[in-house]
Amino acid sequence: MLPNSRCETRPPFLVLLVTSAQDQLEARSTIRQTWGRARTTHGKRVVTYFLLGYSREHQEQLQNESSLHKDIIQKDFTDSYYNLTLKVLMGLEWVDRFCPSTSFVMKTDSDMFVNVDYLAELLLGMNRTNIFTGFVMRNFKPVRCKSNKWFVSEQEYPQEKYPPFCSGTGYVLSADVASRVWNISGIIPYFKLEDVYIGMCLAELKIEPVKIHSQRKFHIGKVKFSVCKFRNLVTAHKVKPYEARIYWKALELAANEHCPGDRTA
């Protein structure tokens, strides 16, 4: 399943790829109405697509949704947590084949709030090549406890430490890096933890994560909402659909209000 794309005639500055589960219709609807809606910010076009696998139970509803919104990318693999790597690679393949003229690609999840306006502003101040950024994870070790969600056996990953990677809650790649990751993935053995796998590809490419700002902008946990706080972050995690709608409305209503330390033109 492919979305409608106008990448060649109207190249977007930023493509948001949101991993989603088949039954998360409310989350997708909320994202379309709030931070993920197609729009222009800082003079740059931003578009959002949802990445899904296959589930017989929900396929008809998903096809109707795709016909209506034309923003779903889907391939024929089981929609499950441990197929997240397949979802992300599918998204990178789509960008490489159908939207290589974009400047940046962000991968994020459906339980996130993304301040796309602020992200675009930060990216406009960066190089447009060789960029990989997010919440950087260094010196992380595989979890060997079998009852843990992130358990990894020594057969799956024998090394003591993972290469540097960015949390899968939200990371950004320049288009050239996204293309190189997709192309090298053919020789990097599959690994079920998607964010670590991207880190493995980047290690092979000798690309190091960079910081987008001197202060933390990507948050991997829940952030207590305030207008001033959310204006100055890129991601917040564990956001329910109803919360996202409240946050979005509050930010819209306070658009002309000043916060301490606001950037001035």
Domain ranges in the chain are 14-253
Q: What is the pLDDT along the chain (265 residues), one digit of tens a residue?
A: 998 777 878 899 999 999 999 999 999 999 999 999 989 999 999 999 999 999 899 999 999 999 999 999 999 999 998 899 999 999 999 999 999 999 999 999 999 999 999 999 999 999 999 999 999 999 999 999 999 988 999 999 999 999 999 999 999 999 999 999 999 999 999 999 999 999 999 999 999 999 999 999 999 999 999 999 999 999 999 999 999 999 999 999 998 888 887 764 3
Task: Characterize the bridge pairing of strands 44-54 and 72-78.
Answer: parallel
Q: Are 178 and 108 in contact (CB under 8 A)?
A: no
Task: Characterize the bridge pairing of strands 104-109 and 113-114.
Answer: unpaired
Q: What is the b/e burial string over 109-118, where b = at least 16 CB atoms within 10 angstroms of the residue's CB? A: bbbbbbbbbb
CATH classification number, 14-253, choose in 3.40.50, 3.40.720, 1.10.8, 3.90.550: 3.90.550
- The secondary structure of 201-260 as a DSSP string is HHHHHT---B-SSSS--B-SS-----HHHHHT-SEE-S--HHHHHHHHHHHHHTTT---T
